[in-house]
């Protein structure tokens, strides 16, 4: 049986495509605003202006207690319409983010993610657990949408009172939750137009 997966995720967001693009492409910041999935992110290569050639090292998880180590390289970039990346590590494949303005305002973000499981656990168990692994990915993307909505609100906050009213993003599941809770207690967020 194939160990390939293909996911298409669609989010409708109350922000401009420029804002969504800039938030998602700033990979090192993913740990702060999408901590339920991104446990550690390191930029290995900056790439050319616009991000092409940028290489990012990631340590991630979903709802299930296993973790994934992988890297992505930005293959192409078309600000603010989208970018494509190549993934290597515990899974290999390609992801394409596309951003389109919505007729009434806002942005539709579409992520087309085609990967093959390489991690031995995933590769061996895909024939039996494909629906569970797929549900794990869908959970991660739902948390991503929730986290991105909160981050866009945070970036749009006009004062400290508005900022204080925005809850923190969803945290990772066990066994990484307690470490994330400790980090959140020491983290302060202030108004910045990043």
> Interior CA angle at 13 toward 145 and 103, to 5°?
150
Q: What are the pLDDT digits (tens) for 114-137?
A: 999 999 999 999 999 999 999 999
Q: Kindly report which listed range (61-70, 103-112, 180-189) carries the lowest average pLDDT score.
A: 180-189
**18 touches 109 (CB < 8 A):** no
pLDDT for 192: 54
- Under the banding of pLDDT at 50, 70 and 90, the label for residue 194 is very low
Task: Indicate the pTM of the whole model.
Answer: 0.90
- Under the banding of pLDDT at 50, 70 and 90, the label for residue 184 is low
Residues in the chain: 194
Copy the structure tokens of residue 141: 């993307």
Residue of 120, 123, 95 lying closest to 109 (CA atoms): 95
From the number of C-beta atoms within 10 Å of its C-beta (0-12, 13-18, 19+), residue 21 rates as buried
Q: What are the pLDDT digits (tens) for 158-175?
A: 999 999 999 999 999 976
Q: What is the mean pLDDT of residues 100-107?
A: 97
**Domains along the chain with CATH numbers:** 4-186 (3.30.530.20)
């Amino acid at each position: 049986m194939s160990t390939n997966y293909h996911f298409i995720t669609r989010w409708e967001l109350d922000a401009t495509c420029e804002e969504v693009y800039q938030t998602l492409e700033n990979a090192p910041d993913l740990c702060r605003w999408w901590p339920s999935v991104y446990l550690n992110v390191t930029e290995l290569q900056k790439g050319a202006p616009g991000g092409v050639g940028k290489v990012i090292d990631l340590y991630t998880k979903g709802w299930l207690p296993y973790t994934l180590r992988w890297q992505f390289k930005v293959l192409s970039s078309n600000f603010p319409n989208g970018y494509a990346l190549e993934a290597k590590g515990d899974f290999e494949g390609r992801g394409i983010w596309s951003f389109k303005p919505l007729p009434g305002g806002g942005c539709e973000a579409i992520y087309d993610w085609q990967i093959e499981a390489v991690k031995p656990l995933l590769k061996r168990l895909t024939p039996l657990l494909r629906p569970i692994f797929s549900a794990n990915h869908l959970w991660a993307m739902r948390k991503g949408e929730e986290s991105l909505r909160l981050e866009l609100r945070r970036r749009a906050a006009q004062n400290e009172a508005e900022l204080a009213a925005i809850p923190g993003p969803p945290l990772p599941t066990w066994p990484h939750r307690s470490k994330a809770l400790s980090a959140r207690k020491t983290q302060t967020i202030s108004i910045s137009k990043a």
